Amino acid sequence: MAASSSSKRFPGRFESLEAIREFISEAAREAGLSDREVYAVKLAVDEACSNIIEHAYRGQSRGEIECQCAIDPDRLIIVLRDQGQRFDPASVPEPDLTTDLEARQTGGLGLYLMHRLVDDVRFESDESGNTLILVKRRPALPSPESSAEGDA
């Protein structure tokens, strides 16, 4: 059971990205993540939501993005849901990072980035839409015993 959770729906438009980033930032700060970790989570969510808008909704503002954040003792869990076109992450080829930048195909780095920025990335897809679950581990909190020892 999560210690804290919040949920909000945003229009599936590029203009919503700033509000989504702010919503995610608040949850990441509440989870006790460092500035660097907050930035990583925001970037992963921004990439995911951009892909939802561009690919699932075809950039046509045809749906919403539901963002749910849950904080439990050891992690921040972000769930993004859309009702757009089904997505199969296995259909996305691994990016070729060895090719010169000028010769690389545009796009295709979104999944790669998400996997590098957070600790766990899971996709689910069915007839009702897509669900993306991003997990970022929280920093370990000192136990009460170790705090008491430091006071001695």
Q: What secondary structure does DSSP assign to 13-35, as a single string?
A: SGGGHHHHHHHHHHHHHHTT--H
Is pLDDT above 80 for 30?
yes
Q: Nearest to residue 132, comparing CAs of 72, 70, 17, 48? A: 48
Alpha carbon distance 152, 136 (integer Å) = 34
pLDDT single digits (tens) 32-53: 999 999 999 999 999 999 999 9
pLDDT tens digit sequence for 95-120? 666 666 666 555 567 888 999 999 99
Is the domain covering 4-151 a CATH 3.30.300.90 domain? no
Mean pLDDT of 44-67: 92
* Token reading at 139: 């920093």
Q: Taking the mean position of all CA atoms in its chain, how far away is CA 112?
A: 13
> Mapping DSSP to helix (H, G, I), strand (E, B) and coil, where does residue 134 land?
strand
